[in-house]
Amino acid sequence: MTDFAALARDALSACGLSMRAAARALNYDPAYLSRVLGGKQPPSRQLAEGLDRITDSGGRLAAQVVGYGATSVARDHADPIAVELAHMRSSVAHFLDHDNLYGGDTVAAAAVQVWRAGQRRLDRGSLPEGVTREYLAAVAEVAQVAGWLLFDADQQDASRAAFLESHMLARHAGDRSKQWFALDMLAMQNVERHRTGETLRIADELLSQAKLPPRVALLARVRRARALALAGCRRQALDDLDAVSVGLGDSLNPRDPSWTWWVNEQEAAGQRGDALLALGDSQAAVPSLQRACELAGAFRPDGRGVFYYRVSLLSAYARTRAWMEYESTLLSVLPLLETIGSGRNRRRFRSLMHEIARDTETPAWVVDLMRSAEPETVQPGGRAC
């Protein structure tokens, strides 16, 4: 991707933007952007589109990414294994782009299909000598993406199975980066399902490893903090989250895997907000969740991330009885329900609506607003007005 890197550097230079300024504007990890601009790592489609936007390049950079994938497949058309590898890699980028915009519901099944096709090839043992490890790593990555999309679609048992399979494949491939990723995803899902003991064991296992890249260590501390918050261990949880916030500026390291690009201020703020909600300190959670929502909106104004943080904000506003803020946030969430298919976030939203409607201290006008705005979520009779 040296052509892309050169074009991107020229575009930033022409606009007078430094690499760090671009990273801040796009809410990307500067280390990741540095690797892309240095030609050491291929860009994602969303990064290319973001760079097009801030440099006013008219789609030239995004076209480079699309062209690269198409050329690779055409060049390797005579080699079915190469075609499969190229398809897996391009599918990963497409699935993640779609998820960031619209959620994982509609693409989860397609990701599972690509993963299972690769798995069948591995099970047949029909790979040519010399490509097995590369193929194992590619299937491990697709399994990770399938696991994430299933998680977002709220198919939790299937998601866990995909993460476990991904970890095994990455171990067979000798790919430590993907092993760390699979473990982090398992810890994330355990937080969602309130499996605090397993989350803490995974975090401790990661943190005990020698030469763990800094950003992977930060993620392990995030997962540990969330588990501790669920267990009511306030001081220990906030100590870990404080260390994560401080470490964001100090942890840029060439050893950080490319997938850690999203370990940024948005992630730190959102995790702190959710941890404070779990600890019952909704008032303190509000500024962190507002900041996470602001940063998510700068990345994808109407994307899944904004949906997630607004639901968390709704919870914080309801628990602090900030009903005017609750109203405006609820009205901003409703249009997202029409475009974002994220079973996990819809479940969070529905559960919150039911909880608020059943609360006898909720003003009648708030319940009426919820019923008129989303009648299928808040049924009449859920609370006596």
Q: How far apart are the two ends of the chain, measured CA to CA in Å?
A: 61
**Three-class HEC string of 291-339:** HHHHHHHHHCCCCHHHHHHHHHHHHHHHHCCCHHHHHHHHHHHHHHHCC
On the 0-12 / 13-18 / 19+ scale of CB atoms within 10 A, 174 is: exposed
The angle, 0 to 180 degrees and rounded to 10, between the axes of the packed helices 176-192 and 156-173 is: 160
pLDDT, residue 379, reads 52
Q: What is the pLDDT of residue 65?
A: 73
pLDDT tens, residue order, the chain (385 aa): 457 888 888 888 888 888 877 877 776 767 677 778 877 777 877 788 888 888 887 778 877 775 444 444 444 445 788 888 888 988 888 898 899 889 999 999 999 999 999 999 999 988 887 889 999 999 999 999 999 999 999 999 999 999 999 999 999 999 999 999 999 999 999 999 999 999 999 999 999 999 899 999 999 999 999 999 999 999 999 999 999 999 887 656 677 887 887 888 999 999 999 999 999 999 999 999 999 999 999 888 889 999 999 999 999 999 999 999 999 999 999 999 999 999 999 999 999 999 999 999 999 999 999 888 776 665 544 443 3
Cβ 191 vs Cβ 226: under 8 Å: yes
pTM confidence score: 0.81
Nearest CA-CA partner of 29 in 279, 292, 248: 248
Helical pair 282-299 and 265-278, crossing angle rounded to 10 deg = 150
For residue 75, the model assigns a pLDDT of 42
The residue whose two tokens read 């003991």 is 197
Distances, alpha carbon 34 to alpha carbons 194, 216, 365, in Å? 37, 18, 51
Distance CA 376, CA 173 (A): 47
The pLDDT assigned to 251 comes to: 54
Q: Single out the residue of 344, 350, 302, 348 nearest to residue 150, CA to CA.
A: 344
Dist CA 382 CA 203 (whole Å): 40
- What does the pLDDT read at residue 13? 83
- Backbone φ and ψ for 178, nearest 5 degrees, come out as -75, -30
